[in-house]
Amino acid sequence: MTRENSEIGGAVAGGESRAASRHLISGNAGKATTTIAGVVVFLLGIGLTLFIMVNPMDIGVFEKLKNMLLPSEAKTTPSPVKGGEREVLYWYAPMDPTYIMDKPGKSPMGMDLIPKYADEVEEESDSAIRIDPATVQNIGVMTATVNRGDLKVEIRTVGTLDYNERNIFWVNTKYDGWIEKVYVNYIGDRVREGMPLFEIYSPDLVSTQEEYLSALTYREKMAGSGFPDAQARAENLLAASRSRLRYWDITDEQIARLEKNGQTTKTLTVMSPVDGIVVQKMDQALEGMYAKAGMNLYKVADLSTLWVHVDIYEFQLPWIKKGQQARIEISYYPGEVFVGKVLFFYPYLDETTRTIRVCLEIPNTDDKLRPEMFATVTFSPVAAKDAVLVPEMAVLHSGERDVVVIDLGGGRFEPRDVRLGLQGNGQYQVLEGLESGERIVTSAQFLIDSESNLREAINKMLMAKKGAAPAETLSPGMEHGSETKDMEHGSETKTMKHAGHEMKPVVEDTGTIEALEKVLRAYFPIWKALANDSIDGLDAKAKELAETADTAAGMVTEEVLATQLETLKKAASEMRIDDLTTARESMKSLSRALVAIFESHDVKMPNRYTIIECPMVKERWIQDTEQVNNPFMGSSMPLCGVKVGEIG
């Protein structure tokens, strides 16, 4: 009974377990189905969103949904799609973006042209350009604010230390005599006021002492005589003798000693008149030397202050004032700075160097400095007060132009011409073109300026290819007459020019055209020779061109054209052919004169010629072939050139 019951219980338990397992599996399957369904719906949602965004079949409903989902993009992004393809504005060379074409092809370097799409070009003002913020960060653009302040200029010059001429003293005697004993024997010995220098024997000095003693004795005798007149004469005689001794630089102490001793001395000791250093001595051995009256025996200089002589240019003179301080550095004491002040200006200008000498005074309390030392002197005067100032690195110098790049905000930049004033301490004074508070670019601005110039050049070339007419619709006051090539379709079309535009004078006279044809035929051998790196026979070819231009100038009736031919004749006759470099330099003037003729006149030439410009040397020339052959670069870069015009 027990066994049966246990079997029955086991069977029941097994059935319950299997039922629970089936229930668990069923539940998991339901959850998996729900998860898969969710993933599918999510993927369908993403796919539908992408389909709406891309809208490859241009379905209007989806376009409306896209505009609703992305209203800002729909408003700001132009629709460059035409027939399902991006609109190409032009094709350009990868190595020379100024070389543009209206269809695919090869650049002068043999590289494939790259398309420029309409959706890549933003609407910009004439001067401002827009750069993506990521690009701004990558090229390292840094900006600064234009400020107002005092502009200090730094004037650095080299000076020489010298004695302070107000502290130089000469030691000499006012009487003849022989030097008996010397106390100061060498140059550089430091002396103090009243210190003995040497002893000298002078007969005149001895006789003067005797006269003084006699006058002293006579005064004593007359003191008790009772005759006032005699006493007065004795006093006057004694005073005269004492004055004579003083005139000979005998000190009061020495005179008192003479009175006390009552005896003359053979020699007299000469004392130093000042504190200082002996910088010059009459002879290496003064003892026994005969010294004449007025002979300089010692030169004593006080070196507590020194002078520094510097030269500054005449244009710097207005910035240096008397009493102005300057920083002085001595190479013997690196890192130590001395301060001096301007003492006076010398009253003359060095006509050779166009400099003026300035004297500064510098203290020498530590007795470190010596005359004839070299010094670097730096002045920092205020050259302009309350000036508009910009960092030097913010200014781009381009020939006669000075340019700064303005940060307009939002990734927009504008190159702007400025007029500069003074320069100093890493800053420029801006006279015109900037105001305080504007933000300017201080690094990588040359890249922004290059981008601006490139866009300007491309826009001008595009306008030239389109006939330089801002509108292509006919309107009253417009004239027919110029043929240009439509860039998009490549067909020949008649374009209009505004009546207000200046038209080139048309040259249709057969004689003038033949004369200009001969000028071109005389020019081409020079072009071909230089393109082939040759100057053989170039003298004769230049002479032939000069004669041909002279003949043509005599034939034409228009004054402007005749003048241009005379210019061409002058350039050809003055052509230098010392070597290939000078010949190519002369070729520039030659080609400029010739190109100017055909760019300022509409000459109906029977043959077609091409005007080419080299972007490397920025020069133009004329050739009778389509294949570029650069006369300025020769074999180094024969294909460097862009077609910029046609003749005929």
- pLDDT band per the 50, 70, 90 thresholds, residue 170: very high
> Based on the domain organization, do 59 and 100 belong to the same domain?
no
Does residue 68 register a pLDDT over 60?
A: no
Residue 42 in domain:
yes
> Based on the domain organization, do 608 and 622 belong to the same domain?
yes
Residue 257 in domain:
yes
**Per the confidence metrics, is the pTM higher than 0.75?**
no
For residues 504 and 600, the answer to whether their CB atoms sit within 8 Å is: yes
- Write out the DSSP string of 102-118: SS--B-TTSPBPEEEEG
> Based on the domain organization, do 518 and 604 belong to the same domain?
yes
> Based on the domain organization, do 280 and 317 belong to the same domain?
no
- pLDDT band per the 50, 70, 90 thresholds, residue 157: very high
Cα separation values, 583 from 125, 408, 587, 633, Å: 43, 47, 6, 12
Residue 126 in domain:
no
> Based on the domain organization, do 172 and 112 belong to the same domain?
no
Instruction: Look at residue 136 in the predicted model and tell me its pLDDT.
Output: 75
Instruction: Look at residue 412 in the predicted model and tell me its pLDDT.
Output: 82
21 vs 113: which has the higher pLDDT: 113
CA–CA separation, 118 and 109 (whole Å): 25
pLDDT tens string 600-635: 888 888 888 999 998 878 889 999 988 899 999 898
> Based on the domain organization, do 340 and 367 belong to the same domain?
yes
List the Cα angle 213/216/218 in 5-degree steps.
110
148 vs 249: which has the higher pLDDT: 148
Please, how many CA atoms are within 13 Å of residue 343, restricted to the half-sphere of its CB? 18
- pLDDT band per the 50, 70, 90 thresholds, residue 19: very low
pLDDT tens string 527-560: 999 999 999 999 999 999 999 999 998 888 888 8
- pLDDT band per the 50, 70, 90 thresholds, residue 375: very high
Instruction: Look at residue 120 in the predicted model and tell me its pLDDT.
Output: 61
pLDDT tens string 325-362: 999 999 989 999 999 999 999 999 998 889 999 999 99
Residue 220 in domain:
yes
> Based on the domain organization, do 552 and 636 belong to the same domain?
yes
For residues 273 and 162, the answer to whether their CB atoms sit within 8 Å is: no
Q: What is the CATH number of the domain that holds 342?
A: 2.40.30.170
Percent of the chain exceeding pLDDT 90 equals: 27
Q: What is the CATH number of the domain that holds 147?
A: 2.40.420.20
Does residue 578 register a pLDDT over 80?
A: yes
Q: What is the CATH number of the domain that holds 209?
A: 2.40.50.100
pLDDT tens string 251-272: 888 888 888 888 888 888 888 9
> Based on the domain organization, do 260 and 196 belong to the same domain?
yes
Instruction: Look at residue 79 in the predicted model and tell me its pLDDT.
Output: 42
Amino acid, single-letter form, for residue 616: M
Q: Lowest-pLDDT range, 261-270, 284-293, 477-486, 535-544?
A: 477-486
Instruction: Look at residue 505 in the predicted model and tell me its pLDDT.
Output: 83
- pLDDT band per the 50, 70, 90 thresholds, residue 462: low
Work out how many domains the chain is built from and give that number.
7
Domain that holds residue 145: 133-151+390-463
Residue 281 in domain:
yes
> Based on the domain organization, do 215 and 294 belong to the same domain?
yes
- pLDDT band per the 50, 70, 90 thresholds, residue 8: very low
Instruction: Look at residue 631 in the predicted model and tell me its pLDDT.
Output: 93
> Based on the domain organization, do 233 and 269 belong to the same domain?
yes
Residue range 240-261: average pLDDT? Answer: 84
Does residue 488 register a pLDDT over 60?
A: no
Average pLDDT, the chain: 78
- What lies within 8 Å, CB to CB, of 544 at 6+ separation is 522
> Based on the domain organization, do 610 and 514 belong to the same domain?
yes
Cα separation values, 434 from 151, 184, 405, 441, 592, Å: 16, 70, 11, 13, 36
Instruction: Look at residue 196 in the predicted model and tell me its pLDDT.
Output: 92
Instruction: Look at residue 449 in the predicted model and tell me its pLDDT.
Output: 62
> Based on the domain organization, do 522 and 638 belong to the same domain?
yes
Does residue 307 register a pLDDT over 80?
A: yes
Residue range 34-63: average pLDDT? Answer: 55
Q: DSSP character for 608?
A: -
Instruction: Look at residue 130 in the predicted model and tell me its pLDDT.
Output: 74
Instruction: Look at residue 39 in the predicted model and tell me its pLDDT.
Output: 60
Instruction: Look at residue 464 in the predicted model and tell me its pLDDT.
Output: 54
Does residue 69 register a pLDDT over 70?
A: no
